Amino acid sequence: MKKYILTVLGMLCLSPVWGQGQVTKPRITIIATGGTIAGIAAPPAENAYTPAQLTVETLIRQVPQINNKASVKGIQLCNIASQYMTPRIWIRLARVVDSLFSGDHCDGIVVTHGTDTMEETAFFLDLVNSHENPVVFTGSMRPSNSPGADGPANLYNAVCLAADRVAVGKGVLVVMNDHIFSASGVTKTHTVNPQAFENPNRGPMGTIRGGIASLYYPLCEKNVVDERFSIRELANTDLPRVDIVLSYAGATSLLFDALVENGADGIVIAGVGHGNYSYQIENSAKKAVQNGVAVVRATRVLQGGVSSDTENPFEGQIVSRSLSPQKARILLMLALTVSHEPDTIQRMFDQYP
Ligand code: GLU
């Protein structure tokens, strides 16, 4: 009996304790990168503000309620507006996340980030993160000192979700304005309104209000993507170069050709409709593929994606499936670190139907 009691006590003390009856709070690390959530408006021009001013310590101090939910630590990875985010910083972030989880330094991670490119960093991390622990991105649309600042509520929700068992094994998540999204599906759809994020193809995965999460379809959205890229194997040097070309009525191939001439490893075409583009771009795309450049047919249209039954298909084309051009670019950059074979790369995209 005594042995049994000791064993139960031992389990309670040693296991990362989640949910009801917990003895210790989940350990959450907040990795801050900048953005409007760390921004300050300067009166009298209250709509104008400077992003990336506050440190992670100040962000944590501004939301004391998170300490009731988790034992919180902060890391300042960088402090930038997210239009200045780069693949090199993505790699640094992914290495920090890997070492925090591998060394059992925390149970979950929140990344604060500017909203402009949050979906890109979140998707990159989703593709290279091999850990089941929750990772939740958040930010804000209004600076920290504006009336109705949305940062504190978003940070509170993000910490609560990262501390919640429901987020285990779901891949990288994004929490904004009480909605929970998958990193692969989420995109920014409004330039200034606090309701700025959507998943145009599938809607949000769930809601989180006052720190209480409920997922609409937890099983379907469990992270089922097989393809993972090892952050440990990625070199510290630059990733393959992939750029995006937009198509529109009368688009010439000038930009496409310039990218090929300047050594692009891959090009994503943000096409019109179901991944279509002008004659000029079509001719250049075919030539580029013959010369070993990977070309992905994506679309500038928000819903529906591009499946393999495109108009005028050509040998070696890759289609983006449900990934937006900016997400297709990231998958292609990583894909090209392991293969240049269009069929192999297409199978990676097929995981996002
Ligand atoms: N452009 C800034 C950034 O992405 C501000 C946008 C925001 O964070 O809402 O960091």
Domain for residue 236, yes or no?
no
What CATH number has the domain bearing residue 199? Answer: 3.40.50.1170
Cβ–ligand 1 contact at 36 (below 6 Å): yes
- Tokens representing 329 are 């670019």
Distances (CA, A) of 33 to 46, 70, 238, 240: 23, 20, 20, 24
pLDDT classification of 233: cutoffs 50, 70, 90 = confident
Q: Which residue has the tokens 């959530």?
A: 37
Domain containing 290 — which CATH number?
Answer: 3.40.50.40
Residue nearest to atom 8 of ligand 1 (CA): 114
Mean pLDDT (the chain) is 91
State whether the beta carbon of 141 lies less than 6 angstroms from ligand 1. Answer: yes
Extended strands (E) in 94-156: 108-112, 135-138
Q: Are residues 251 and 204 in the same domain?
A: no
8: CB partners within 8 A, 6+ apart? none
Is residue 245 located within the same domain as residue 208? no
220 domain residue, yes or no:
no
Predicted model pTM: 0.92
Average pLDDT of the segment spanning 266-274: 98
Phi, psi of 129 (to 5 degrees): -90, 120
Q: Which atom of ligand 1 lies closest to the CA of 80? A: 10
- pLDDT of 18 reads 53
Report whether 351 contacts 227 (CB < 8 A): yes
Residues 179 and 246 in one domain: no
Give the pLDDT score at 238.
Answer: 84
Q: Are residues 86 and 188 in the same domain?
A: yes
Output the CA 116–ligand 1 centroid distance in Å. 5
Tell me the mean pLDDT in the region 80-96. Answer: 97
**Residues 207, 303 within the same domain:** no
116 lines ligand 1 (CB under 6 A): yes
For residues 253 and 167, what is the distance between their CA atoms, to the nearest angstrom? 44
Instruction: Please check whether residue 172 lies inside any domain of the structure.
Output: yes
Do residues 83 and 184 both lie within one domain? Answer: yes
Indicate whether 186 and 299 sit together in one domain.
no
For residue 222, tell me if it sits in a domain.
Answer: no
Which of the residue ranges 12-16, 91-95, 304-308 would you say has the lowest mean pLDDT? 12-16
pLDDT given for residue 223 in this prediction: 55
Task: Name the residue of 82, 112, 137 whose CB sits within 8 Å of the most ligand 1 atoms, as the mutation to test its pocket.
Answer: 82
Q: Which of 146, 180, 215 is the last residue of a domain?
A: 215
Confidence label for 46 from pLDDT (cuts 50, 70 and 90): low
Which one of 54, 116, 177, 193 would you pick to mutate in the ligand 1 pocket, going by the greatest count of ligand atoms within 8 A of its CB? 116
Q: Looking at the structure, tell me whether residues 178 and 260 fall in a common domain.
A: no
In angstroms, the Cα distances linking 342 to 143, 257, 270, 293, 331 are: 44, 20, 18, 10, 13
Instruction: For residue 276, tell me if it sits in a domain.
Output: yes
pLDDT value for 231: 87
Please name the helix (run of DSSP H) or strand (run of DSSP E) that holds residue 263, with its range, or none: none
- Claim to verify: residue 44 and residue 183 sit in the same structural domain: yes
Give residue 309's domain range: 241-349
Treating both helix axes as pointing N-terminal to C-terminal, what angle do 87-102 and 118-128 enclose, rounded to 10 degrees? 50
Query: How many domains does the structure of the chain reveal?
Result: 2
State the pLDDT confidence band at 226, using cuts at 50, 70 and 90: low
Residues 209 and 291 in one domain: no
Segment 57-85 shows an average pLDDT of 97
C-beta of 74 in contact with ligand 1 (< 6 A): no
Q: Among 83, 111, 118, 119, name the best residue to mutate to test ligand 1's pocket (greatest count of ligand atoms within 8 A of Cβ).
A: 83
Task: Assign 23 a pLDDT band (cuts: 50, 70, 90).
Answer: low
SS3 320: coil
134 CA to centre of ligand 1 in angstroms: 23
pLDDT digits (tens, 9 = 90+) for 133-155: 999 999 999 999 988 999 999 99
234 domain-assigned: no
Q: Is the CB of 154 under 6 A from ligand 1?
A: no
Residues 207 and 260 in one domain: no
Q: Is 55 helix (H, G, I), strand (E, B) or coil?
A: coil
Do 346 and 318 touch, CB atoms closer than 8 A?
A: yes
Q: Is the CB of 82 under 6 A from ligand 1?
A: yes
pLDDT digits (tens, 9 = 90+) for 152-206: 999 999 999 999 999 999 999 999 999 999 999 999 999 999 999 999 999 999 9
The answer as to whether 229 is a domain residue is: no
Residue 183 pLDDT: 96
Ligand 1 centroid to residue 36 C-alpha, Å: 5
Assigned domain for 255 exists? yes
**Final residue before a domain boundary, out of 215, 231, 254:** 215
Q: Let me know whether 18 and 76 are in one domain.
A: yes
